[in-house]
Chains A and B, each alone.
Chain A
Amino acid sequence: MKAVIQPLVPVLTKDAVPYFTDPVHAGFPSPARDHMDSQLDFNELLIKRPASTYVLRAEGHSMGAAGIAPGDYLVVDRAIEAAHGHIIVAAVDGDFLVKRLQTHPTLKLIAMSPDYPDIELRSGQELEVFGVVTYVVKPMLSKMP
C-alpha cells in the first residue's frame, strides 16, 4: 500500500520571520520600513547542511582541550571531510570519542583529555569518523544553585 509523503523542505530548519511585517500598522510609516531584516537565526549560523548535521553532548571528568567542557553541545557535520587539525567525533571500541585528528607525520587521534592516550592508527586499521565538530555551544550559567 502506498503512502505518499509531502516534500519535507522546511522541516529541518525553522524559517526566520521578521518581527514586524507591516510597520505601517502601527500608525506611522517607519523610516526603517525598506530596510527590515530578519531576526538572527542560529540555524543559519550553526546548521549549514541540515541533512548531515547532528548534535552530540560532550561528557568527561575534566575540561578538555580546545575549551570543550563536559555538558557542551557539539554541532557535528558529516559532510565535511575530516582533515588534519579538525576536532572530530570518532567511534572507537563502541564509544563516541572527541579527538583531534592528525594526519601528518602519522595518522593519529590526539587526546582531548589528559586522562586519555593518543591513539596511533596502524595502516589498514579502520577509523570511523562520525563527523567533524563545527561549533560548540557552551552553557555558561551553572545548573547548580
Chain B
Amino acid sequence: MTTQVFALIDVNSMYASCEQLFNPKLRGRPVVVLSNNDGCVIARSAEAKALGIKMGAPYFKMRHTLEEQGVSVFSSNYTLYGDMSARVMAIIESEVPRTEIYSIDEAFADLTGVQDIAGTCRRIQSRILNEVGLPVCVGASTTKTLAKLANRAAKKYRATGGVVDLTEPARQKRLLALTNVADVWGVGPRLVRRLRTLNIHTALDLASSDPKTLHEIFSVVLARTARELNGVSCIDLESEAPVQQQIVCSRSFGDRIEDKELVRQALVRFTANAAQRLRSQGLLAGQYTIFMRTSPFSGDPYYANSLSERLAWPTDDTGAMTERLDTLLGAIWRDGFRYSKAGVMLSDLYPQGSQQADLFDRSRGSKAGQGREQLLALMDSLNRQSRGQLKFASEGLTTAKSDMRQERLSPRYTTRFDEVPVARLA
C-alpha cells in the first residue's frame, strides 16, 4: 500500500498580504490588520513583525506607537480576504483533486502517489504567487501533524524557500528533535506544562513516548498526536463539511448600549443574518435562542442572560423568529446595564422537506406559506447582489451603534466594480 502523503499549504500573513497586493505603496512596508471592532492586531506583514509588533496586541494601546513607526493599519476586510481565499483554494484544487479547506488561509492536500513531492509543492507555491498574488509556504509529510510541522519549518527557515518535504523518516527525526513540544499541532500551554513534568520537552520526546501510556495519563487525542509524529497517519482529510448543529450570529457592539430598542434592533439583524444562512443551507430550525451580556472586562456591573424557545414548527422564516423576540427580550432585559455583546442562535436543525405538515396555514404546502417562501427567496437573492439592500423594518433604518467598528477598511478590490484598484495611463 502506498504511504499517504499530506501537504499543508498556508498563506503568509494572509490579511496583510492581501492589503499589500492591491496597494503598491505598501510593498515592503509594515502593515497591520485589526480584528473585529478594530480591537487587536490579527495580522502583521513581515516588516511589521520585524518592528516587534506582537500578534493580539490591543490597538488602542499601540495606536501612537504605530503612527510614529509609520505602520499602515487596516480593519479586517473579510469580503476581500474571502474572495482571495477562494482563488487560492481554486488553484490548489486544480493541482490536487483531494483537498480539505481547513481555514480561510490553510488547506491540506492529498499528495499520495505523487512522484515528485517537492516539485509539486513548489509548483503550487509558485502558481499561487504568480497567479493569485499571495505568498504561501508548503509543508509535506506522511501525516497531517507532521505536515503542520513541515509547514512551520518552511516558514521559519528561509533557506527552504518556503517548501519543506518531510516525507523521509530520518529528516522527520531531525526536525522533531529541534521542535519544542509546545509547537506541535494540538498541544496547548496547559498540556505543555504537564508534559514538562514528565521530561517531555521536544516533539521527539513526545514521539518517543508510549502512546498507550499517553492515552491513560492524558487523552486519546495526545496518543494520536504521538502516533502521527511517528509517521502513522490517524487523521484523514475531511471530505465533507459536517452537518451543522447550530447557527449562531452574534457581535460585540462598537459602543456599549443601554437602550433596549437598539439592542432589539441588533437582535433582529442577527436573526435575519442567521436565518439567511439557514436558508442558504436548505435547513429549518426548531429552536430559537437570544443572549446578551455586559463586558466582563470593564469595571461595569456584570449581567448576562439568555432565553430559548421552541418554535411552533421548524422554520427558516425570519419573521416567525422575530415575532417571538419581543417576548424573549422582555423576559431577560434589565435596565441600567451597559451591554457589550448580544446574539442569537438557531438550533435543532432539520433539512428542508423533512418537516411534518402543520395544521395551520403557515405551513410550507399552503398558498400563504409558498408566497412567504418566494418572498424570502427574492429577498436573499437581492441581498446577495447588494448586501443589506432589503431589510425587515424592525432591523432599524440607520447605522446602529451596535454595528462593528471598522474605521480603516480598504476597498473591496475584487468584488465591487466601483471599488476596483486604479491604474494610471502613463
Contact = CB atoms under 8 A, between A and B. Distances in A.
A130 B88 CA distance: 17
A57 interface: yes
Interface string A46-86: 00011110111111101010001110011000110000000
B101 interface: yes
B132 A95 contact: no
A104 B88 CA distance: 34
A12 to B, nearest CB: 6
A11 to B, nearest CB: 5
Contacts of B25: 94-95
Interface string A1-14: 01111111101100
A59 B423 contact: yes
Contact of A113 (B93, B131, B426): B426
A98 B424 contact: yes
A101 interface: no
Q: What is the size category of the interface that chain B forms with chain A?
A: 20 to 34
Contact of A60 (B87, B241, B424): B424
Contacts of B241: 4-6
A68 B130 CA distance: 25
Contacts of B417: 55, 73
Nearest to A52: B131
B282 interface: no
Contact of A98 (B89, B101, B423): B423
Contacts of A98: 423-426
A8 B424 contact: no
B101 A51 contact: no
Given A56-B421, A112-B425, A78 B102 contact: no
A3 B27 CA distance: 31
A95 B86 contact: no
A42 interface: no
Interface in B399-426: 413-414, 417, 420-426
Contacts of B421: 54, 56-57, 96
B100 A55 contact: no
B242 interface: yes
B422 A57 contact: yes
Given A6-B241, A52-B132, A91-B24, A57 B423 contact: yes
Contacts of B382: none
Contacts of A52: 87, 130-132
A7 B93 contact: yes
Contact of A95 (B93, B238, B424): B424
B91 interface: yes
Interface in B75-106: 86-91, 93-94, 100-104
Contacts of A96: 24, 421-424
B131 A97 contact: no
B369 interface: no
Contact of B426 (A6, A9, A55, A111): A111
Interface of A: 2-9, 11-12, 49-52, 54-60, 62, 64, 68-70, 73-74, 78-79, 89, 91-92, 94-99, 111-113, 115-116, 128, 130
4 A-B pairs with the lowest CB-CB distances in the bound complex, closest first: A64-B425, A60-B425, A52-B131, A91-B24
7 contacts: A5-B241, A9-B90, A52-B132, A54-B413, A73-B417, A91-B24, A94-B24
Given A5-B104, A95-B424, 14 more contacts: A5-B241, A6-B241, A7-B93, A8-B89, A8-B90, A12-B87, A54-B421, A55-B414, A56-B421, A78-B132, A95-B426, A96-B24, A96-B421, A97-B426
